[in-house]
Structure 1
């Protein structure tokens, strides 16, 4: 049975691939959908939320058709699936006489896999509901949980004596939590950090209930056995990013970026003063010979790159000792201190 999209609504297609993989369709006629839409318009639901709500309703009704399994039924399906997988591997080397029987076992294993998945789709929904409000729609959470369920079916070993639902719960939770860590945030945060963040936020909520007030950073840090600095960092990471293009005010003619200072931007007056200072330094250096100019540029970062070099480094560049460079530097600075050469530069010194 192929999965269909009710009335062409976009969000109903979110489960199309997974529903098709397990042979599910979507129930409900156009008339029923339209009646519910009118009811929801009265309740004030938005367009996107209304479609998502209807999609979940139809999906829950569809998966409710499939009966739950007892322990015996789970083991029976798991054995059929196991036999089908073994037959699939044998098909590659089987002769013509064996192939029909093996193909039958493969088909039966595929059917058993479908039945095991269908019978546990409600488990996925019950787990996905616990993660609503963490940055992903319920439909997306269900979709990721279904992927985890399919993985659990592939890995399940009935011979260990565990119930399939107990085993599948871990895989479903893992798939959902990893999806939240990877997709829910604009800036991805590593999975281990998301787990720590959830631990801190959970402790904060517990303390709010116990203390009947907002707990301090130190109180939260003590409860989760982390340093206060680490908790502050986690609080910062937990904040949702804001777009610089977010409108501010009711007129929508101002944006958040208009009110944030750009610390990297240079004040035009400072740029002009720096250019004049660079020109004055260049004029002062013109009174020196070439070697003295080069030594000054390297020692004080006047070569345009702003990198200051040690006496040792300058000495290696000129092939002389560091003491000789120190002598040249001392002599050159004495020249530059002459009132005629230093007059323009003194104007840029602080009054202090």
Structure 2
């Protein structure tokens, strides 16, 4: 680990003490810094231009609303002691990043290696070449520096005295940070493909696991400390793998809860249907039927059944006493409501022809 100070920052900016201590709009200038016009940022600025808002026509009321909205939005970044230098922006963007052009052959190869029958357009996600160590470090450093600059200006926003120039500057910093983040993400998408394909099974499609894996990768980019001396792929592999495992386990637990609830309603299943090989189509149909049946219960009955069988948002089975305390009734009354709800569900279940759901 280097001697630089690493700080995980959320909304509150990491910056030199003289700037943040007693900072005001007058001490933190809203003028556009000269390094924003450097050659290295010309392409990123051109590509994010259509994402930036034109605030020139906003009146004071509009600017106040925009300021309040920006203050509600968190800025999450990894601070670094080197960012404290007033000349750091110029030095960070002085070196040439030199990203290689996208290659369609890389995307096609990724699709073939996945071992899954996927639409060819998904290959476009994997056309970015891998990053060299110095490129990776530069992208992370630039992304976090841009977010730190945005956080400094956000810290002095004042809804009573809104600044159009400061809002535009913050938006520019954030958009540029997102551009650098996206370059890191797209260069590591082939890693996500290679990991999630190992978790594919009849109950977990490649598409779903891939979507979750990309979200996990993006979170990993935001939390990675570029100054610790190891490659991002090492960290990202653990993040994506843990996320895929958690997704598979959570879905399996959810299936068991729903199937258990259906069985308690006297809906009979064969041994094959109880197994994990139940088709995805049939699974969604069963869930849909259960949802419809629960929808025919009144509000209290529905709440009790979901809580007693750990369905929906309920992550554990609730006791009768816990539900009685929650509803403000006696334990015996909860028991009566549960019995009444189960009788209704059994009556409805009697009309369900499982043969119709065969997938």
Normalising by structure 2, we get a TM-score of 0.36
Which of 1 and 2 has higher RCO (CA within 8 Å, sep 6+)?
A: 2
Larger Rg: 1
